[in-house]
Structure 1
């Protein structure tokens, strides 16, 4: 479990380092997630790591089980930016509403497409009686 946690921290630090060195517009944790995902994909393809899968799985489950606690600093950060929120509340609200509606529409269309595709495949692959 210690190796898995170290892997997570190293990916996070590499993300922050890349963001600062290359002046990337993405947050360091997002870059760190991409680095971690790339490492896991490469490890699965080449088995280049001694980090046990079970330890990484346990760490991920522990973080997911306590995810609510991880949102507290972000919530506090939003509250400290109250002046910006008061100034730009209408554009923020419009962006949230439209992005939610757009997300629902895209999700529905993708679901409809794949469920229709699944139905046509199951009809053509039925076994004769």
Structure 2
């Protein structure tokens, strides 16, 4: 019991350290990139480089993964609750959620290619 608790605390401490570090760096450099995403990327790199071992994280990450679907249930319930509204306005929703971001990515990619050729 104590060994399992110690593993859980170590795992939670490692995950929390990456998250707090990402928040601190994000605040220090005034970056608008989401800190949880940069923490996940840093943790992934640490795992790939062997700095952090996977078995150090499993006891703390396993409960998070078990309950992760609960975070998505409210969004899915809201969509199901308003299915008539979604059915009525599917085209504007499609444009806003898919087409407009694709056009934005295309424009940004084109601009970056032209700027890269000038340098």
TM-score by length of 1: 0.48
1:27-78: CA deviations, max 9, x gaps?
11111111111211122xxxx45x6x33422333321110033458x96xxx
Match of 1:42 among 45, 49, 63: 49
For residue 41 of structure 1, give the secondary structure of its aligned residue in structure 2: helix
CA distance in 2, matches of 1:70, 1:22: 30
Superposed CA RMSD in Å reads 3.3
Aligned in 2, Cα 1:23/1:97: closer, same or farther, shift over 3 Å? same
Residue segments in structure 1 that go unaligned for 5+ positions in a row: 76-91, 103-129
For residue 96 of structure 1, give the secondary structure of its aligned residue in structure 2: helix
For residue 98 of structure 1, give the secondary structure of its aligned residue in structure 2: helix
Would you say the 8 A contact 2:9–2:60 is kept in 1? no
Residue 78 of structure 2: aligned partner: none
Larger relative contact order (CA 8 Å, sep ≥ 6): 2
Aligned residues: 80
Residue 96 of structure 1: aligned partner: 97
Q: 1:99 Cα deviation (Å)?
A: 7.5
More helix by share: 2
Match of 2:28 among 21, 25, 33: 21
CA distance in 2, matches of 1:99, 1:12: 32
CA distance in 1, matches of 2:96, 2:18: 31
For residue 26 of structure 1, give the secondary structure of its aligned residue in structure 2: coil
For residue 32 of structure 2, give the secondary structure of its aligned residue in structure 1: coil
Residue segments in structure 2 that go unaligned for 5+ positions in a row: 1-7, 76-91, 103-119
